[in-house]
Amino acid sequence: MLKISQLVKRYGNGAPVLKGLDLEVPGDSVVSIIGASGAGKSTLLRCINRLVEPSSGTIELNGLTLTDLKGAKLRAARRRIGMIFQGFNLVDRLTVMENVQSGRLGYLPLWRAAMRRYPKEDIRRAYELMERVGIAHYANKRADELSGGERQRVGVVRALMQEPEILLADEPTASLDPKTSEQIMELLRALSREFSLPVLINIHNVAEAKQYTDRIVGMRYGRIIFDAEPDALDKDA
Ligand code: ADP
Ligand code: ADP
């Protein structure tokens, strides 16, 4: 469960761009965040993974208050946050297996990572997850040989290799065609259920948000203006 209380963020001396947000995302639920550009959606995700330092408020993940952590403890906690990106963020010239294993790099001694000597358990786990999302037969292909949907599956497996306690997805389908987008959304929902993972998705496409997520959170000018199940929203809202 992710629990955000009274989260405020201001950049520099500017006006706050998050103005006291409260949000809970239980395990095995998928929540999408929608709102016009500039509403604060990316800032919210970045506060959770601490690419951005919150100005005040608390963020708890499974009872651990992330906003209290510093140094090594913060780095350890950040590894439990799986990120999925719009542009996939794969290393093109590396293989699928190498990309997927990079989700574990933070856990590996440096020499092993450099030699690409992955622990047996990590290889087994990678195959299991690649199998699950349908890309195991591409393990030894270069990432740039795959289609967009396949690349995003690699991104998903890389995130799962971290044994995350939450998945954060920043416009995960924005560079995919509609059919592939639906498959990826469906996959995220299924994985959330299977692994009891809270999934928080910053998404543009309201129709996709309605179809594939459990709750839709609307943001405007740094505030949450609604938080509802898709059925509760007007059909063309
Ligand atoms: P969204 O993801 O909803 O488009 P953002 O979180 O990117 O919104 O932006 C919210 C507000 O914060 C905007 O006014 C934006 O200009 C501002 N902002 C975002 N990042 C920075 C930054 N690094 N420095 C200063 N202002 C920023
Ligand atoms: P069991 O309790 O039978 O081990 P789990 O649901 O805990 O079942 O795990 C089943 C498989 O899913 C295992 O291979 C485990 O490593 C993997 N798994 C469990 N939780 C996560 C997670 N948060 N992210 C990725 N994989 C996970």
For 104-119, give the DSSP string: GGGGS-HHHHHHT---
Q: Which atom of ligand 2 is nearest to the CA of 129?
A: 26
User: Ligand 1 centroid to 28 CA: how many Å?
Assistant: 29
The per-residue pLDDT for 104 is 83
The pLDDT of residue 112 is 61
Which ligand is located closest to the Cα atom of residue 10? 1
Percent of the chain with pLDDT over 90: 87
**What ligand is nearest to the CA atom of residue 124?**
2
User: 156, 133 in Cβ contact below 8 A?
Assistant: yes
CB within 6 Å of ligand 2 — which residues?
125, 128, 160, 163-164, 195, 197
> What is the reported pLDDT for 22?
98
What's the pLDDT score for residue 113?
Answer: 59
Ligand in closest contact with the CA of 52:
1
* Nearest atom in ligand 2 to 197's CA: 23
Report ipTM (2 d.p.). Answer: 0.69
Low-confidence ranges of the chain (pLDDT < 50): 237
The pLDDT score that the predictor gives to residue 109 is: 61
Phi-psi region at 47: left, alpha or beta (left = phi > 0; alpha = psi -120 to 50): alpha
Question: What's the pLDDT score for residue 234?
Answer: 67
Of ligand 1's listed atoms, the one at least distance from the Cα of 43 is 6
Residues near ligand 1 with C-beta < 6 Å? 11, 17, 35, 37-43
**pLDDT reported for residue 108:** 62
